[in-house]
Amino acid sequence: MARSDFKSPRLYIDAPLAANTSVPLDRDRSNYLGNVLRLAAGNTVLVFNGRDGEWQGVIEGTKRPSALRLVARTRDQTPAADLHYVFAPLKHARLDYMVQKAVEMGASRLVPVLTRYTQVNRVNIERMRANVIEAAEQCGILSIAEVAEPLALERFLTSRDGKRLLIFCDEEADVANPVEALRSAPGGNGIDVLIGPEGGFAPDEREQLLRQSHVRRLSLGPRILRADTAAVAALAAVQSALGDWNQS
């Protein structure tokens, strides 16, 4: 498998990508290449759209970058992991961080859910999508994670595919090695990782979660973690036990 090129600038463009074609640049991307990165005609960047792999593009334009001429595919498109990150929304900067880290850890779908103790009821979906793209650009990721509209936790649980494994982190769970606890869990039909609000789950929410057909209640150790920290810890445990960290 071709390795990522971390030296070249990398740009997401929502347009079909194919050899020997020219992709026009909008004002924002033109400004980013020309004024932020100080690149001009003849310089090369990497381009991806989440569907057609990664391509090397040569900047075209006279006074400013106006288009990218695609030269060759540098990496083929790979399927995204069937790993959904489900979470109670946080405020602004901490939500930005959590979204970026979830994408870096391999989440292919982000689902905000509103719980009894959720402190934030409004979610800026476009800001979340911008953070998804930024994380993918910076980390060599080929796929763009889907961002779902917020919904109530109860609605999420009643509408989700019951064949998927649901992993929810609970500070009231018995302390145990989370990786060992996950090794026996079936992950072949997709995985939903749920992180609740900083106030935890209400008793009736916990009961409803435990009634799910394929569920693992997970402890993340003897310390109480902030929700954004718990996101990284939980996804790392899942990737170690059931995901692509465990592949040779």
Q: pLDDT tens digits for 96-115? A: 999 999 999 999 999 999 99
pLDDT of residue 230: 92
Confidence bin at 236 (pLDDT 50/70/90): very high
pLDDT of residue 72: 95
The mean pLDDT value for 150-175 works out to: 91
Confidence bin at 20 (pLDDT 50/70/90): very high
The pLDDT tens digits of the residues spanning 33-78 come to 999 999 999 999 999 999 999 999 999 998 899 999 999 999 999 9
Confidence bin at 4 (pLDDT 50/70/90): low
Confidence bin at 19 (pLDDT 50/70/90): very high
Which alpha helices (DSSP H) does 140-192 contain, by range?
153-159, 178-183
pLDDT of residue 247: 65
**Residue 248 pLDDT greater than 60, yes or no:** no
Confidence bin at 1 (pLDDT 50/70/90): very low
Q: Exposed (0-12), middle (13-18) or buried (19+): which is 168, by Cβ within 10 Å?
A: buried
List Cβ<8 Å contacts ≥24 apart for 67-73. 67/22, 67/23, 67/24, 67/25, 68/11, 68/13, 68/22, 68/23, 68/25, 69/20, 69/21, 69/22, 70/17, 70/18, 70/19, 70/20, 70/21, 70/22, 70/23, 71/19, 71/44, 72/19, 73/19
Confidence bin at 156 (pLDDT 50/70/90): very high
Tokens of 166: 């649901």
The mean pLDDT value for 158-162 works out to: 93
Q: What percentage of the chain reaches a pLDDT higher than 90?
A: 75
The pLDDT tens digits of the residues spanning 203-223 come to 999 999 999 989 999 888 888
